[in-house]
Amino acid sequence: LKGLTVTHKHVNLINKAGGDQLSSNFRDKNPLAQVPVLELDDGRQLRESIAICRWFEEQQPEPNLFGADAWERAQIEQWNRHAELELLLPIAQMFRNTHAFWAGRIKQAPEYGEILRETVLSRFDWIEQELAQRPYLAGPRFTVADITALCAVDFGRISKLRIKPETQPNLAAWHARVSERPSAKA
Amino acid sequence: LKGLTVTHKHVNLINKAGGDQLSSNFRDKNPLAQVPVLELDDGRQLRESIAICRWFEEQQPEPNLFGADAWERAQIEQWNRHAELELLLPIAQMFRNTHAFWAGRIKQAPEYGEILRETVLSRFDWIEQELAQRPYLAGPRFTVADITALCAVDFGRISKLRIKPETQPNLAAWHARVSERPSAKA
């Protein structure tokens, strides 16, 4: 989307030893053993997806994704946090706590996963109402908040959380609108 | 800390009707029925604590809390997110899922709370190692990442999550250092 060139190094999260992210080499980059990590040409390292996105925004300001003035930046931050805290994190936690993939790998609490399912479904209904008022989450244009929300909704499919087009037509239309962007398909 | 004057309106989260945040008046400001909400003099409204903090930073840039250049901003964002995702959110979820206060108010998953307890205690050990290398979470000076981490650690007390000064001396020293600041006592 920004036209920046980044060399990707694949970190295999699942192998017989538990995953490449657990190696001492990777833990030197991130003691939390989490991806992604951005390495600059001069060796500096940066963790956390949104911190990396903010860095990219400053290196290549256009197209603007985080806001062009103080009020728009505050609004986009509000909506990006809503997308993360109300959608992406509960959806990720639901996956970890209920999916067979994680059985035996981590301690799961399926009971909590079911509580989260109700939460997320109610959030879909709330976002439906918001998207009845404007085409994108934070306002009239595509921003990082839409990227976060798209990642969340698509991630939810693995836990059978799906948009209901009959009762959530605005959410369904938004999902189609953001999914057909070239950067979403990349 | 910023010297900004904000009029506080108290929202009583617990009353016989379930809390003032559930009123239609408050839900007009935030459909999620969550505090805080910032109202500007011209009627505009902003939700989400960190969005409000960023707005304050732009209104009153000094003392700087979010970074003075692109790389520092990225580093502070990384550490503020670590403080939030690895400490504050699991501590808040542990409170909700295990504390007697919430019994009967929300659906709780105590089993998940105990999983989170182990996570948070391991994060305290990790932060201890980080704070052996520098006085503040994101580097040589106090930033918003320290504010988030201080809120998290103090919130943990209600769930009996405590710093162990014998094995976590750097974390204990950091906690004393940030707690004695006038803004922390305010």
CA nearest neighbour of B72 among B175, B171, B142:
B142
Interface probe for A, chosen from B55, B98, B106, B122 (most Cβ of A below 10 Å), is B55
The nearest alpha carbon in chain A to B33 belongs to A126
A53–B contact, CB cutoff 8 A: no
Q: Are A155 and A94 in contact (CB under 8 A)?
A: no
Distance CA A45, CA A42 (A): 9
Cα angle: B109, vertex B115, B120; to 5 degrees = 120
Is B111 in Cβ contact with A82 (below 8 Å)?
no
Q: How confident is the prediction along chain A (186 residues), in pLDDT tens digits per residue?
A: 999 999 999 999 887 778 899 999 999 999 999 999 999 999 999 999 999 999 999 999 999 999 999 999 999 999 999 999 999 999 999 999 999 989 988 999 999 999 999 999 999 999 999 999 999 999 999 999 999 999 999 999 999 999 999 999 999 999 999 999 998 987
Q: ipTM of the predicted structure?
A: 0.95
A57–B contact, CB cutoff 8 A: no
pTM of this prediction? 0.96
The nearest alpha carbon in chain B to A106 belongs to B115
Q: What are phi and psi of A139, to 5 degrees?
A: 150, -150
- What DSSP element (H or E) covers A130? helix A110-131
B89–A contact, CB cutoff 8 A: yes
The structure tokens listed for B163 are 């710093």
